[in-house]
Structure 1
Amino acid sequence: MSVDIDTVKRVARLSRIAVDEADAERMTGELNAILGFVEQLNEVNVEGVEPMTSVIPMAMKKRQDGVTDGSKADDIVANAPASEDNFFVVPKVVE
């Protein structure tokens, strides 16, 4: 895949970046070099390679996943003009 000047100008317009003709020429070469590198990466055989979180082996820290109410209901409704059973009380708007 290669990028031409029209594609660079279109991407610049979509990104709301002002690009003049000289910059568009330079960016065309730079983007084609980046895409060439990505194509090289696609050729690498990664069959059987485990995903890594770091360059050194480490265990991920995990926490117990549990559902709680946050123990903050009283703090949340503390400044409400009216509350009942930790819910905000508001005037009825639907008849």
Structure 2
Amino acid sequence: MNGHSRGSVLLRHEVGLHARPSVKLTKLAKSFQSRIDLGLSAEGPWIDAKSIVKVMAAKAPKDTELHFRAEGDDAADAVAALVGLVERDFDDGD
């Protein structure tokens, strides 16, 4: 069973996708079996959401729309979890 899933979410983090949010995002992505890509537009270019180096290099600024696409058994869960993390501002309040 190989699923495909896509989702997008607005990045509202004050400093954009810098070190701490990037670490949280890649750590969460790595907890899923699916291949997960991150894009700064719906057409890509796509980068591996499990690669901290690539995610930080994307340097997505505040108010960027982040696009996720996943392929695998837990693709839908992976996209939902990543969108949720960004929507909660990377749980930065805790």
TM value normalised by structure 2: 0.23
Between 1 and 2, higher relative CO (CA 8 Å, sep ≥ 6) is seen in 2
TM value normalised by structure 1: 0.23
